[in-house]
Amino acid sequence: MIRILFLGDIVGEPGRKAVIRMVPVFLKERGVDFVVVNGENAAAGRGITGKIAIDLLRAGVAVITTGDHVWDQKDLPGYIETEPRLLRPVNYPEGAPGNGSVVLDTAKGKIGVLNVQGRTFMQPILDNPFRAAEMEIQKLRLETPVIVVDMHSETTSEKIAMGRFLDGRVSAVFGTHTHVQTADEKVLPHGTAFLCDAGMCGPEDSCLGREVEPIIKRFTDNLPTNFPVAKWPVRLCGAVVDIDEATGHAISIERVSELVNEN
């Protein structure tokens, strides 16, 4: 059995510090073998830098996925070419920097991770995520049946459709992007674990990880304003999935939602 921890969108400095602190705890105390996190909002709430990626990987994260904010930090295109464990959505057009999937060797066998971005209410509009995912999974399955998918998408319908589309062909499909954890975790009929949105690793007293008052002001007066990342404590959200390494089928899925204080 392989136990994989998937953590939702990291938001700013509080979120990444909480993840860096807690990943070793999950690895040691909860028997986790492999950790995937979505890091696309880890740098001041927008994008990710090479330095932040290095810090997360050193803490024990195996793979970092991203989404629509992947290019928001200027150093990222150069760095992502050098680090295969930092993914961008697979459905970017040919020639985009970096890769949309990776297969890593572990003590319990090879594990594949795929990052794909939805198109409904999302910018930029990328290639068809269903066809891109299907083609990439055919390649990944030549190396391993254990495959984890980050479906970075706005709508629940598109994420649910992707879970059902890939059921039996991958081990788990986790939705990201909305920063709000859903309560629909399940193992689908053909053996794929599914959670519509993993939630975020970001400030608890916030609006999607940002300070509340500027968000309210924007909604009430429609004027431009900054949205600073809120402060501690952090709600760490995601899920733990147990997978049969021989078949790649999920055995169980359990949501994670833990409050982490600054000190």
Active site residues: 69
Q: DSSP per residue over 195-208, as a string? A: ES---EEEESSSBT
The CA distance from 145 to 230, in Å, is 40
- The pair of structure tokens assigned to 80 is 């992502």
Cα-to-chain-centroid distance, residue 254: 16
Per the CB < 8 A criterion, the answer to whether 12 and 42 are in contact is yes
Cα-to-chain-centroid distance, residue 52: 15
* Sequence letter at residue 197: D
Cβ neighbors of 15 (< 8 A, separation 6 or more) are 9, 41, 42, 200, 201, 202, 203, 209, 229, 234
The CA distance from 198 to 185, in Å, is 9
Pairing relation of β-strands 63-65 and 34-38?
A: parallel
